[in-house]
Amino acid sequence: MFAAAFYGEALKTRRARAPWLIAISFLLAPIMGALFMFIIKNPEQARSWGIIGTKAQFAGSVADWPTYFGLLAQAVAVGGAFVFAMMTAWIFGREFADATAKEMLATPTSRAAIITAKFTVLLVWSGIVTSAVLVTGLAAGKVVSLPGWSADSLMSGVKSIATSAALTFLLMTVVAFVASIGRGYLASLGWTVLAAVLAQVIAALGWGPYFPWSLPALASGVAGPDAARLHVASYLLVVLVSIAGVLATLAWWHWADHTE
């Protein structure tokens, strides 16, 4: 049953425009990051092209590979929260937007298989998009000729980006649940905005390590290296929230007929 459900979900995702458009929009992150690095590295040339480099220099950043990898990790953590949420909302909310939910629930395929297939497609899509961001970032960094390239910087950068992506993805199970109970896109996107606001406020108050939605950004180093030193309990909390989101989504779809 799972194979059939996964094939159907994968086919719908491949043929639809939304996943491709969402993915392409995310690829702007490494390109903009490379442009930022270029401005820091070549302020005079940037000014001659009409690009204002003062603000970039004022940030005190250094134009090298470690800094650039840090920017990519932050982009995956902060921007990925919205990009992954848009994809999650599409996967779990389109059945209601297209008015095909009843027909899908009436199929002999178990609902657990359907939901597992949806999460698997989301996982594969997220992995592909994150990899595409990394590859695009490597190409853009080479074009800008950033200094500081080494095997260690590459491994550290890949690890940071992968960690940000993994933490962000794990929290998408809650978005899937909200998209399900909201029967569409809007509720889940509204929740994503609310979670992003709360994440910033709670992190500013110093309680970020104990609020799951603050962790991806903190782990990426967006709040500085000290904030990136999270506790094991912080990561465990994200895993527990993710599991709760999966179970809640499975439970809702199991009883979906009774919510009509």
- Give per-residue pLDDT as tens, 103-148: 676 677 788 899 999 999 999 999 999 999 999 999 999 999 999 9
Residue 71: other Cβ atoms inside 10 A: 23
Grouping H, G, I as helix, E, B as strand and the rest as coil, residue 189 is helix
Give the closest residue to 192 by CA, choosing from 80, 72, 66, 46: 80
pLDDT (0 to 100) of residue 97: 73
pLDDT at res. 230: 78
Q: pLDDT digit string (tens) for 238-256?
A: 999 999 999 999 999 888 6
Confidence class for position 184, pLDDT limits 50, 70, 90: confident
Between CA 29 and CA 42 the distance in angstroms is 20
Q: For the chain, give every domain's residue range.
A: 2-259
For residues 136 and 186, give the distance between their C-alpha atoms in angstroms, rounded to a whole number: 31
Average per-residue pLDDT for the chain: 87
Per-residue pLDDT band for 58 (boundaries 50, 70, 90) equals very low
pTM for this entry: 0.88
